[in-house]
Structures are given as structure tokens and as C-alpha cells.
Amino acid sequence: MVTSGEISDEVLAQLRAGKLAVRQKPGPSNALGLVKLIFPNEHNVYLHSTPSQNAFSRTRRDFSHGCIRVEKPAELAAWVLRNNPGWTLEKVQQGMQSGKDDVSVNLVKRIPVFIVYGTALAYENGDVHFTDDIYRHDAELAAALAKGYPYP
């Protein structure tokens, strides 16, 4: 392991060559927070807590480079682990605050994950809210819709 005070030209060369990797240690100051919920997907996207709680009050929320910050990570982790005996909210909270910083828990029962990226949201009262298309998917959707039915 190399600490930030030991970065030399040799270490930089090894990083560039892919022989070394940079990893931030887990813990309370880690940008990913104290919980990371990994699920299979081709984009390496996962859910994670964050020490930057002020991010949840911002209108723009795309600060995690594709990963998804969770506002109530202990509650979500406890729900995800509800079929794993002993994983209560209290145990999750205890693990986050005083447990080892590298605990992995596999689920007893798989949970389907469905994540939607949308730039328009219609409410029951008739209001519609539009957001920026930060991932630029709207053009592809518009092109598909312009082809009409039946879809190719």
C-alpha cells in the first residue's frame, strides 16, 4: 500500500501502466459513505451513503458519476437485509458506526432492482416537471418514438 505522502515518479508510472490502483479507504470521510449496496449491472452502478448530506437538498443531484446516493442508507440496508437473520436496523447502524469497515453481506434472497432515469415527471394533480437530460438519453428515445408503431 502506498500512502499519499509516498507518491513518486515510479509509483505514478505503475499507476499509468495499470499495475497499481487508487482506492480511498472506507470510513466516515469516504465520499461513498459507510454503506455501499452493490447489484449486478453492466454499468458498475451501485447505491451508497454519503457524508455530504447537504447534497440531498440540492436540485442538481448528479454528483456521483452514475452511482446513486441514498438519503437513508441504514434504513435501506436494513430493508434489503430483512431476509438475512439478525440484520435489524439497530445492527446495521451499529455496523456503520463501530464495526469493521469492510464487511460484505450476501443476500439470502435476491431482490429485483429497477432503476429508472427520467427527465419528465407527471403528478396526479396535473403538474409536469422537466429536468435536464444530463445523460443525453432523450434524443435516442425521441428517435425511437418518431419511428412510430410497430417498433422494429
Residue 126 contacts residue 114 (beta carbons within 8 Å): no
Residue 24 contacts residue 18 (beta carbons within 8 Å): no
Torsion of CA 137, 114, 61, 66, to 10 degrees: -70
- Does position 64 have pLDDT exceeding 60, yes or no? no
- Does position 10 have pLDDT exceeding 60, yes or no? yes
**CA–CA dist 73, 90 (Å, integer):** 12
Residue 53 contacts residue 61 (beta carbons within 8 Å): no
Q: pLDDT by residue (tens digit) across 115-148?
A: 888 899 999 999 999 988 988 889 998 998 898 8
**CA–CA dist 51, 135 (Å, integer):** 25
- What percent of the chain stands above pLDDT 70? 81
Lowest-confidence segment of 3-7, 19-23, 49-53, 65-69 by average pLDDT:
3-7
Domain ranges of the chain: 25-146
